[in-house]
Chains A and B, each alone.
Chain A
């Protein structure tokens, strides 16, 4: 046994490496650097857009366009970010958006007008999230599998509802929301919703116990459990949240496209995951930011926009998208490790 020897009581254990003063700054600086590097990527893209197509790109209408197109996937990504931070994954987001959008645009639903469409879209989203959450939190299913199953069945259900047909929206108040006349101080209502979801998401993640618990569950579920957190209930709420975001996104998509179709939300799960990862969210959980994810979405949308404005075709767009994902992650790693 170690002989009973020790320093006098109260003296400190040796402190390795991090000095007291630089510690927190380093921690904060890292988060800032990550965000800054994303802003740098975005700035570079804006520069490219501005140089190649100055008239079309640097235009209020184009800004409105990019933000509007980003709104639907952006709302989905906020929900996805929470789920990934908690160490989970939600592969069913695109399918939930599809199901919610077709359910909310059936002839029967449309009879109830604006409120009916909005309510149905949100309820269907939350309902799917509830099923996901119960299966994962209380059924002990792996998130990947549970949400994969939801992906398949929600898509099937959406097809069954539509029979493959496009359901055109005939409710004027819904359609009007997507028109230029509805802009508030030049901001499209869809973008306002996106902004609101982003701000609320940021506040919830950073300023509430819900956000803390999410991070704790993702960082170390066992430690969170032993610290007295109800890990299962937290997981349930997280998938509910993701479903809610999908429901909102479905409504935005209905407004945007003026219709519901079972092919809606195609590959949203991959776009949302990619945006979150680019934004610095760890796929293994425990770390991530709403700001980063939203920047990730905006980066993707800006790329799409620049490519379309320059009349480049799908093949080139896809190659560039892949390259940007790799580049953004590498840049972040480099900047984060040299600080």
Chain B
């Protein structure tokens, strides 16, 4: 590394909360102008560490040295004044204020104690946005009217509105399209060229390989490795550090029988289903024991398709059949009654009752099974929930704990347990591993495969191509609301899928979450 002293050195940082030792001796050093990646599973202490750095938490012990001097960061403002800016994962913007007002929130240009509305703030905000490659964002617009990606840019503009020397980015690409991700990475490159350091947190190893310089790995509140070279450290080693385990292949074997289209009646049949403006008419069948994957970019209509099949959106054409019987269109209740179950993309917002126990989250769709005349037999309920939770090896295996205390992977299992208990026949999975860390993904994949083996039909949607290829038996490739290709998963590879997905689209291929970059485009457009 560079011979000059580090921009930031954190050493021996500890922080406890009632009942939890969140940080237990973390060391981190960051050089000016580098992208320093922070890796770790959920609960490893990443969030706490960046909150200490942002002045939002005070460490119990340890020292922070900033530009050669020991400092204490008493408050978020103190951190910002020293040039440390933080972009949190959950965007902390005020929707009903304008872009410029958000950027200068808390340090508004003032005259005689009054906030100066107007030109100066707008102009400098405009300049920042141009620098960030988004001149189209009007500083006077309300933030609530912007897209998620644009809001991210505003958040970054806010960070840069200070005289910043270090920016912490917590999962900045979670809500971004590939081209937006590209733009973000370009900005990161510009910043580091100016000598600004970036602490970059992401679940996506491929992103870290692309833009990272060095990696620090956290596990259970400790830094288990610091300063690893980001580009050359083998994935196997990184994952081993994060999980503390030896590594194996993620994807379970698919049974030979399902490699081809299975014989017999399909469990789920989609006939000419369409929603004007979202996706065009398409057909689809899923047989018992089969996992069918839908691959496509954000905005290609994947989630819309899944939600329409489920009845959460009303189709403008076509119908859905389960076991040969057509469903009442636009009715979730009819779909659930017929044996459909959805694990939605936004687990917390769309699936879980966060204040409730695991049991109640699992039993919510099967209440009539444990009740007579509306009266719940709580013994039967909790027994059944316990059994479903055990079957999916959800941890902790005590279903009385509040679901909010579970990790992402276990929360997803709670959703699956709900449908297992309901006796559902068709499982619809929308981005099943979003927010689930690397170690836990494999287990989820195994669970999904096992459920299919037991006779369920699974329809899977994911933006991560390898996930679709690795888990599904058959794959449908979706582009701009149209199915452009269908094939057994083992006949496809990432190159091919990426090609299909981006054919004719202006999106840069490197934006897709894949280590594979395309060097050339194959011609030909296999019809669906």
Contacts and interface: CB of A to CB of B under 8 A. Distances in A.
Say whether A associates with B. Answer: yes
Contacts of B78: none
Nearest to A3: B235
Contact of B371 (A24, A209, A229): A209
B393 A208 contact: no
Interface stretch (A14-22, A170-178, A194-202): A14-22
Contacts of A21: 398
Given A6-B445, A220-B353, 16 more contacts: A2-B205, A4-B466, A5-B236, A6-B239, A11-B245, A13-B443, A14-B41, A14-B43, A14-B437, A14-B440, A15-B407, A21-B398, A27-B401, A208-B374, A219-B354, A223-B350
B336 interface: yes
Given A2-B441, A15-B395, A222 B350 contact: yes
A140 interface: no
Contacts of B114: none
Interface string B438-463: 11111101100000000000000000
15 contacts: A1-B467, A7-B243, A7-B246, A7-B439, A11-B245, A13-B439, A13-B440, A17-B43, A24-B398, A219-B355, A220-B353, A223-B351, A228-B333, A228-B335, A228-B336
A210 B357 CA distance: 17
B360 interface: yes
Interface in A174-226: 207-210, 212-213, 215-216, 219-220, 222-226
Interface size class of B (residues with CB under 8 A): 35 or more
Given A209-B371, A212-B376, A225 B441 contact: no
Interface stretch (B147-155, B184-192, B249-257, B276-284): B249-257
A222 B349 contact: yes
Given A1-B515, A2-B205, A23 B398 contact: yes
B353 A20 contact: no
A2 B446 CA distance: 16
For the complex of A and B, the 5 pairs showing the least CB-CB separation, nearest first, are A6-B442, A228-B336, A23-B401, A24-B400, A5-B247
A5 B235 contact: yes
A8 interface: yes
Given A16-B407, A209-B368, A216-B353, A7 B375 contact: no
A59 interface: no
A209 B249 contact: no
B410 interface: yes
B365 A228 contact: yes
Contacts of A228: 332-333, 335-337, 365, 422
Contacts of B467: 1
Contact of B352 (A17, A207, A223, A230): A223
B20 A17 contact: yes
Contact of B405 (A9, A18, A213): A18
A219 B239 CA distance: 36
Contacts of A338: 18
A3 B43 contact: no
A15 B337 CA distance: 33
Contacts of A2: 204-206, 235, 239, 250, 438, 441, 466
A10 interface: yes
A230 B364 CA distance: 12
Contacts of B42: 14, 16
A9 B367 contact: no
B418 A227 contact: yes
Contact of B409 (A13, A23, A27): A13
A207 B375 contact: yes
B439 A19 contact: no
Given A14-B41, A212-B360, A5 B249 contact: yes
A8 B401 contact: no
Interface in A267-312: 286-287
A56 B514 CA distance: 79
Interface of A: 1-21, 23-24, 27, 207-210, 212-213, 215-216, 219-220, 222-230, 286-287, 338
A12 B438 contact: no
Contacts of B236: 3, 5
A207 B357 contact: no
Contact of B446 (A10, A16, A24, A226): A10
Interface in B384-434: 393, 395-398, 400-402, 405-407, 409-410, 418, 422
B342 A212 contact: no
Contact of A10 (B332, B393, B402): B393
A11 B250 CA distance: 13
Interface string B495-516: 0000000000000000001111
A14 B337 CA distance: 34
Contacts of A24: 357, 398, 400-401
B349 A220 contact: yes
B397 A23 contact: no
B508 to A, nearest CB: 17
Contacts of A17: 19-20, 43, 405
B7 to A, nearest CB: 30
Instruction: Identify the interface centre among A9, A13, A18, A220: most chain B CB within 10 Å of its CB.
Output: A13
A5 B312 contact: no
Contacts of B405: 16-18, 23
A38 B466 CA distance: 55
A314 to B, nearest CB: 39
B407 A3 contact: no
Contact of A13 (B357, B410, B465): B410
A15 B250 CA distance: 20
A6 B248 contact: yes
Contacts of A287: 355
B178 interface: no
A13 to B, nearest CB: 4
A226 B442 contact: no
B371 A4 contact: no
B344 interface: yes
B514 to A, nearest CB: 5
B145 interface: no
B119 interface: no
Given A7-B443, A14-B407, A19-B396, A27 B357 contact: yes
Given A2-B441, A13-B407, A222-B349, A286 B355 contact: yes
B66 interface: no
Contacts of B29: none
A176 B260 CA distance: 81
Contacts of B378: 207
B227 interface: no
A211 to B, nearest CB: 8
B402 A3 contact: no
Contact of B364 (A3, A14, A216, A222): A216
